[in-house]
Amino acid sequence: MHIIRPIRSDDFSALQQIAIESGHGFTSLPQCDEQLGAKIQAVENTVNNLNPVNHDGSYLFVLEDTDSKEILGTTGIEASVGMTSPLYHYRLSNIKQCSKSLGVNKLVSTLNVCNDYHGATEICTLFLREAYRKGLAGRLLSKVRFLFMAQHPQRFSSTVIAEMRGVSDQHGKSPFWQWLQEHFFDIEFNDAVHLVGVGEKHFISELMPKHPIYVSLLSQAAQAVIGQAHDNTVPALRLLQQEGFAHKGYIDLFDAGPTVEAQLNEIRSVNDSITATVNIADVSSNDNIMLCNTKVRDFRATVSNQVSYDDKSLVLTISPEIAEHLLLANNDLVRFLTL
């Protein structure tokens, strides 16, 4: 069985390996032991905090095989971004320029550095190891965050965003960054991404252009990738679009990948999820159901067909095996979503 749970300190080596496998541009998992250790510690502090203030906190969950105990992937939530450190984006805007005397009207696109998502909740760090990219594992990693937020909305902002990795080649070369590097920077893309991943962002305000950039002045290769997601990220983007996330013109500073957003109370899985009372008995159905307990520190979630819902009694019957792995007893509350 595959179970989602909060990361623990003894998952450190698995997180190291995932940071390596996630490759270039995955800023939320830097290949830096100090930062990875600090991330795990921050998660442990958050889930042990019964009364978080100002939507503060970091959540990182792992997907574990209960038989082999192997960690198959990760998925995370930052409760509030851009507060202690700016979350910079480019905002893509259009300016209409016209000349009545010449009868000319022209729409010009510009990129402006901004920190507009100050205080938003960010879903992040979704990575499924290549050998397990089949079945429902990817959907579980994506949707489980919405079940958790639906159960604990007081811990999160009303606006939820997701930064999608932009286009880069197998060597980590980004067409968008190559243009920026040529005109404004003197460091490689991977070095810039690593600096951001380890929290060293001061160079952005020091070196980024202070005025709007006219898109037409960028190279054709750079223009072509604005708002485009990396091939490996496209499936995750599609899942978010199905949830109601939309691109509002914000892109990443370095690879021009799209940032998408939604209101928490409008996310499809948040609205479609149901709270029910647990009944433990042998059961099976034709539906795959994602379900989780209502805990924080001991949060558990999975997908199974050993589940059946009675909408008249508002009771969800689950198998003893599911109950054991999700730390559930008879008459406990559970949140679930039919896939």
The token duo for 74 is 């990760």
Is 230 noted as a catalytic residue in this protein?
yes
Q: Is 65 helix (H, G, I), strand (E, B) or coil?
A: strand
What are 6's strand-pairing partners? 61
Residues found in the chain: 339
Among the listed residues 331, 288, 293, the one whose alpha carbon sits nearest the alpha carbon of residue 306? 288
Compute the distance between CA of residue 14 and CA of residue 74 in angstroms, rounded to an integer: 10
Among the listed residues 166, 168, 156, 146, the one whose alpha carbon sits nearest the alpha carbon of residue 240? 146
The dihedral through the CA atoms of 179, 196, 51, 337 has a sign that is: positive
Q: Is 245 helix (H, G, I), strand (E, B) or coil?
A: coil
Compute the distance between CA of residue 294 and CA of residue 66 in angstroms, rounded to an integer: 20
* Catalytic residue (choose from 2, 55, 194, 230): 230
Compute the distance between CA of residue 171 and CA of residue 220 in angstroms, rounded to an integer: 20
Compute the distance between CA of residue 246 and CA of residue 262 in angstroms, rounded to an integer: 7
| No. of helices (H) and no. of strands (E), the chain | 10, 16
Q: Which residues are catalytic?
A: 230
